[in-house]
Structure 1
Amino acid sequence: MDPRTSAQDVMRCDLCETAVVQMHCDSCLVNLCKACVGEHMVSDQSKKHEVVQFKLRKSTLLFPVCKIHDKKEDIIKEKNELNETIYPTYQYIAFDVQNRMSQLEKKYGDLSTAITKHGEDWHREIDELVQKLKAEVEKMKNTQLQTLQKHLDEINKIISDIKDEIDSLDVAVKSNDMSKIFKSTFSVERYRNLPQKVLPSLPTFTPCKIKGQHLSKIFGTVSSSSPTSDKYGYSMKTTKNSPEAGSSPPVKQLLDEPEAVTTIDTMYRYYLYNVSCLSNEEIWTRGGDSTMKLYSINQGSLLKSIRTKSGYIPSDIAVTKSGDLVYTDISDRTVNIVKNEKIEVVIRLQNWKPSGVCSTPSGDVLVIMYSDDYPYQTKVVRYSGFTEKQIIQFHDKGQPLYSSGTIAENRNLDICVSDWKANTVVVVNQAGKLRFRYTGHTPGLKNEIFSPRGITTNSQSHILTADHNNDCVHIIDQDGQFLRYINCGLSRPWGLCIDTNDNLFVAQWKTTKVMKITFLQ
Structure 2
Amino acid sequence: MDPSRNWAQDVLRCHLCDTPVPPMYCDICHIHLCKACVGEHLSDELKEHKVVSFKKRGSTTRCPNHSSKQCELYCQNCDSPICATCASSEEHQGHKFIEILKSLESKKEEMQNDLQELEKSIHPKYQEIASNISVQKDEIKENSQELASAIDKHGEDMHREIDIIIAKLKSNLGEIESKHLTVLNEHEQEITHTISEITQSILDLNKLLNSNDVSIISAYESRNAEFRTLPPKITLSLPMFTPFGIDKEQLRLQFGSLSASSIKTEEDEYTMDSPVAEPPSPEKPLTDVPKIIQNINTENKHSLLNINQGNKPSPSGRPLIGAPKVITAINTGYSDSTLRSVVCHTDDDLWTCGEDKIMRLYSLKGELLKSVKTRSGNNPYDIAVHRNGDLVYTDYKESTVNVMKNTQIQTVIRLKGWSPSNVCSTSSGNLLVVMISDDVKQTKVVRYSGSIRKQVIQYNSKGKPLYSSDLYTKYIAENGNLDICVSDHGAQAVVVVNQDGNFRFTYTGPLSTTDEPFNPVGIATDRQSRVLTADPNNQRIHILDKDGQIIRYIDNCHLRGPWGLCMDTRGNLFVAELPTCKVKKILYLEG
TM-score, normalised relative to structure 1:
0.53
1:452 is paired with a residue whose SS is: coil
Aligned to 1:254: 320
CA change 1:398–1:263 in 2 (3 A) is same
**Which letter does structure 1 place at the counterpart of 2:436?**
Y
Structure-2 residue corresponding to 1:383: 448
Q: Distance in 1 between matches of 2:261 and 2:572?
A: 28
Quote how far apart the aligned CAs of 1:342 are.
1.2
Deviations 1:393-437 (A, max 9, x none): 000111100125110011111100000001100000111111110
Report the secondary structure of 2:429's partner residue.
Answer: coil
Three-state SS of the structure 2 residue aligned to 1:412 is coil
Question: CA 1:384/1:72 → structure 2, altered by over 3 Å: closer, same or farther?
Answer: farther
Any idea what the Cα deviations from partners look like across 1:364-397, whole Å, max 9, x if unmatched?
A: 10000000125x1000000012310000000011
Contact 2:260 2:500 in 1 (8 A): no
Could you say which residue in structure 1 is the equivalent of 2:407? 341
Is the contact between residue 407 and residue 416 of structure 1 (CA under 8 Å) also seen in structure 2? yes
For 1:452 and 1:401, the matched residues in 2 are separated by 16
The equivalent residue for 1:185 is none
In structure 2, relative to structure 1, the CA distance for the partners of 1:381 and 1:307 (3 Å cut) is same
Aligned pairs for 1:119-518 (under 5 A) are 236=264, 250-270=316-336, 271-297=338-364, 299-373=365-439, 376-403=441-468, 405-443=474-512, 447-487=515-555, 488-518=557-587
Which whole-Å deviations, capped at 9, do the CAs of 1:310-358 have from their partners, x for residues lacking one?
1111010000110100000001000000111211000000000000100
Q: What percentage of aligned pairs have identical amino acids?
A: 51
1:66-93 Cα deviation digits (max 9, x unpaired): xx99x969939959x99xxxxxxxxxxx
Matched residue type, 1:440: G
Residue identity in the other structure for 2:351: W
Tell me if the contact between 1:267 and 1:513 (Cα under 8 Å) persists in the aligned partners.
no
**C-alpha contact 2:444 2:467 (8 A) present in aligned 1:** yes
SS at match of 2:126: helix
Corresponding residue for residue 148 of structure 1: none
User: Cα distance 1:76–1:452, how it changes in 2: closer, same or farther (>3 A)?
Assistant: farther
Q: CA deviation at 1:443?
A: 3.0
Q: Is the 8 A contact 1:365 1:386 kept in 2?
A: no
Whole-angstrom distance in 1 between the partners of 2:521 and 2:429: 24
Once the two structures are TM-superposed, the CA of residue 287 in structure 1 deviates from its matched residue by: 1.4
Tell me if structure 2 keeps the 8 A contact 1:310–1:331.
no
Tell me the CA shift for residue 267 of structure 1: 2.1
Tell me which amino acid in the other structure corresponds to 1:401.
Answer: L
Amino acid aligned to 1:263: A
Contact 2:477 2:484 in 1 (8 A): yes
Residue pair 2:384, 2:392 contacting (<8 A) in 1 also = yes
Q: What's the Cα RMSD here?
A: 2.9
Q: Is the 8 A contact 2:565 2:575 kept in 1?
A: yes
In 2, the alpha carbon distance for the partners of 1:278 and 1:77 equals 51
Unmatched 5+ stretches in structure 1: 1-67, 83-230, 241-247
The structure, 1 or 2, with the larger RCO (C-alpha pairs under 8 Å, 6+ apart) is 1
Q: Secondary structure at the match of 1:430?
A: coil
Partner Cα separation in structure 2 for residue 515 and residue 431 of structure 1: 34
SS in 1 for 2:521: strand
TM-score relative to the length of structure 2:
0.47
Q: How many residues align structurally?
A: 294
| CA drift at 1:288 | 1.2
Quick check: 2:382–2:422 contact (8 Å CA) kept in 1? yes
Q: Cα–Cα, structure 1 residues 479 and 344, in superposed 2: closer, same or farther, change >3 Å?
A: same
CA distance in 2, matches of 1:266, 1:338: 21
Structure-2 change in CA distance of 1:267 and 1:250 (3 Å): same
Q: Residue deviations 1:451-501, cap 9 Å, x none? A: 100101000000000001011110000100000111211100110000001
Q: 1:378 to 1:239 in 2, by over 3 A?
A: farther
